[in-house]
Structure 1
Amino acid sequence: MNSERQDGQRVVWTVVGTAIGPLLLAATSEGLVNVVFHATDEVRDRALGRLASRLGTEPVERPGSPLLTEAIRQVEAYFAGARRDFDLPLDWSLISGFPREVLRALAAGVPYGTVVGYGDLAGRVGQPGAAQAVGMAMGANPLPVVVPCHRVVESGGGLGGFGGGVETKRKLLALEGVLPEPLF
């Protein structure tokens, strides 16, 4: 497979260690395109294969690319408690339609240290009965952490599901001060 997209765009990637385990960060010239939890070798290789298939190019490891360097800096600052939001260009090409609309509303309107219910977020995009569809959109989020799907919870106070696992969601919400740090 070619290392450039049809429009000549490269896909570059790296893995960064975090308090919740290794994260795969992938970017195009448009912006950060994918963040993948628990990026062990096997998970990383599967994710890179999916990216190659979806974007039409073989991702190339380039931790020193300017966008990935900045993404690493911001991710590390976030996990160190020194950054509350991300200021990175995002490439939304892996998601479209209602899920993209919901994720954009989430990124723009649910700040660090707060949570929103699935139904409330559905209402914010003009679809008040679409709580379940919002849950599906959260599960399809190609940019977790940066687009903070961990901040979406059940209306009854439950955490709800999470693509990175409920324990990862709990750790992210504890980092942001929404939940107490677990005792053990």
Structure 2
Amino acid sequence: MPEVLSEEEVAAIFKETKNLKHKAVLMTIHSAGLRIGELVKLKIKGIDSNRMQIKVEQVKFKKDRYTILSQRTLEILRLYIKQEKPFEYLFEGQKSTKETPVKYSKASISAILNRAVEKVGISKNVTVHTLRHSFAIHLLERGTDLRYIQSLLGHESPKTTQIYTHITTKGFDQIKSPMDSLDI
């Protein structure tokens, strides 16, 4: 079963991440359910603020897909773009130029998340992919239909998405153990 973070843990990670670019990276991954490879390939033109969507190009199975763009993430992205002025990729490496845009490194993204997780004191085995899993679980727990989650994540098979139904604890607090009703 994949590791997931609670909404409170995700919020704590974002609050702890002070660097604007780093915060924008992590928020974009979580709020859109992106894979790390999709984030580093994401181009500025893939952000559609009119439709509040992100176009993820040529991902697994060589298909494009659209996922959601959160209002909060859009606000952070606007500040980030104004400050950093990326050329082609939404997130670029330090040596990026207009003539030679360089993608942001996956290792840097992992390091950013690891530092934040450590500072917050989360003891779970958290990876960048954990943010994607957490996105799916948070949608499911808010009542989003699995078919929409499947589409947002770019899963070919519904079986891949159904794994999240085995992780969620939503509603467990409403279930009473039969043991509690026994007259013993």
Same fold (TM over 0.5): no
More helix by share: 2
Q: Which has the higher contact order (CA 8 A, sep 6+)?
A: 2
Larger radius of gyration: 2
More strand by share: 1
TM-score of the two chains, using structure 1 as the length reference: 0.30
TM-score of the two chains, using structure 2 as the length reference: 0.30
